Structure 1
């Protein structure tokens, strides 16, 4: 446990003064002294859900049950080029099929479309972007993905456009936030907060939504640790104290035989496909249990112990 704390201090992702608070959060979560108000399931409908998504949802529901939190369903649908209606429908179908309950948010596709799509909250996101602009902490960036990879083969942005003073109102520019004084992983230096199409980027939209809906327990995969650090920095800049006080739980990921994480982009077998092949709910959970290396049969999310998620980081 304390290796997580000292590792974070050594990497300068948190200061020494925050280490004790960090350790206390871990102890509080482990020994059950904490109660939470709300957590969330937040899938992106850019493909059909797979076993890794199911595990993350199950862990979220388990933590909610243990700590008295409500589960809010949020669908991250701002990436209009990748989002498709059938992928949104698949979210509801998968949650129902796996009998994963949620308390708040849309109950079906029509409910999502009319009341819960992120596009209904554009005014809230724009308010956050305006606050960043007024602080003078964002700059316009004209670099395309091709340009970025040409100048930075590893995909790490080093502030190429920071001093160009490009107009923020011009079309086709990203907005990046100045992170020169922040201790963030290289991949999160000068991260994008507004995309070229004018829509808020993931880091900003996810943070604003968590604050907007009063989420105080964020459950996500270990691959999103860097995103948590970026969002905490953004929350500090915007004065979002509720997010800074929230607990972020990062669980281990399901891996393929090649030790790669399951992902939609890599063509991970979808739960929709498994259902069409005749797999039942219990068989889906059994597959998850087998991938986790559990020594006993699993047929429901209630059979999955939190320890099955492996080592976790709590922030």
Structure 2
């Protein structure tokens, strides 16, 4: 299969770790195999956690690991002046207005603590759906009404078209946060359409996000997004088989570099985490362990 554009889409909410790097390398491998160009798209609307040093870390990591890309910002200054999501607020607001006009959402004032108290799993199950909270009330987010959601069809890279059910953790997802900024599920769709992305590579943990975005794209009539192809790769696990996170500083590329690790050393660590009995020292030997 041939594609036009895929993307690296990190969030500057912490220093990049080995799991982020693994996803970048899978994306790079798929881009090479399919002839797709690569876009660097940095998702920076989580303004509470945004830090310029995290953006710089993205450039530093890509440069250190020799991961090139064809489109996107080349520096922190270039990003903030030309590529930040803050420059696309108008596009996001237009989509929010469309959802609002179609009466597809409801306001919610639940805190994370309250959601946890109502459901130990931490999943939001639609508590405010029938409370009729005014949409313009302060300290409320906007959520999609997914109650009537049926099977969602997704074009997958390895298995063709597959039908899924929206999981509990993705039901009634946010489209606008309490700070009145658009939420990830909406901005990700708008950005992928804006740039013309037709191959989206994500970790298996983000399958629920893909399904939420397909539901939202359908409600917005954005069928070009649904026409894209999606690949959800297995997650790279750390100690005790736990998912890697940005809060674990020891797995950050920055930490490993400060320890004196070279590119070959980091590929070697990835190889061991993938269970390889062979020596993994560069991108070519890394690709042999990918089932693509």
Per the normalisation by structure 1, the TM-score is 0.85
- Once the two structures are superposed, residues 83-118 of structure 1 have per-residue CA deviations (whole angstroms, 9 ceiling, x without a partner) of 111110000000000000100000111110100011
Q: Would you identify which runs of 4 or more consecutive aligned residues in structure 1 move more than 4 Å?
A: none
What are the residue-to-residue correspondences of 1:108-147 with 2, within 5 Å? 108-147=75-114
Inter-partner Cα distance in structure 2 for 1:290 and 1:139: 47
- Does structure 1 retain, via aligned residues, the 8 Å contact 2:249–2:255? no
Of residues 8, 27, 40 in structure 2, which corresponds to 1:60? 27
Deviation at residue 142 of structure 1 after TM alignment: 1.1
3-state SS, counterpart of residue 240 of structure 2: coil
What is residue 28 of structure 1 aligned with on the other side? none
Inter-partner Cα distance in structure 2 for 1:151 and 1:252: 31
What is residue 38 of structure 1 aligned with on the other side? 5
Answer with 156-165 or 178-187: which moved more: 156-165
Is 1:97 matched up with 2:68? no
3-state SS, counterpart of residue 219 of structure 1: strand
Inter-partner Cα distance in structure 1 for 2:22 and 2:266: 10
Inter-partner Cα distance in structure 1 for 2:13 and 2:23: 17
3-state SS, counterpart of residue 265 of structure 1: coil
- Does structure 1 retain, via aligned residues, the 8 Å contact 2:250–2:256? no
What is residue 9 of structure 1 aligned with on the other side? none
RMSD value, Cα: 1.3
What is residue 221 of structure 1 aligned with on the other side? 203
Deviation at residue 170 of structure 1 after TM alignment: 1.9
What are the residue-to-residue correspondences of 1:129-208 with 2, within 5 Å? 129-182=96-149, 183-208=165-190
Is 1:298 matched up with 2:280? yes
3-state SS, counterpart of residue 189 of structure 2: helix
Deviation at residue 268 of structure 1 after TM alignment: 4.8
Deviation at residue 158 of structure 1 after TM alignment: 2.0
- Does structure 2 retain, via aligned residues, the 8 Å contact 1:252–1:309? no
What is residue 230 of structure 1 aligned with on the other side? 212
Inter-partner Cα distance in structure 2 for 1:250 and 1:309: 12
3-state SS, counterpart of residue 304 of structure 1: helix
- Does structure 2 retain, via aligned residues, the 8 Å contact 1:283–1:299? yes
Of residues 5, 12, 16 in structure 2, which corresponds to 1:49? 16
- Does structure 2 retain, via aligned residues, the 8 Å contact 1:38–1:69? yes
Inter-partner Cα distance in structure 2 for 1:302 and 1:110: 33
Inter-partner Cα distance in structure 2 for 1:292 and 1:186: 30
Deviation at residue 267 of structure 1 after TM alignment: 4.1
- Does structure 2 retain, via aligned residues, the 8 Å contact 1:62–1:302? no
Is 1:289 matched up with 2:271? yes
What is residue 277 of structure 1 aligned with on the other side? 259
Per the normalisation by structure 2, the TM-score is 0.92
Deviation at residue 299 of structure 1 after TM alignment: 2.1
Answer with 161-170 or 68-77: which moved more: 161-170
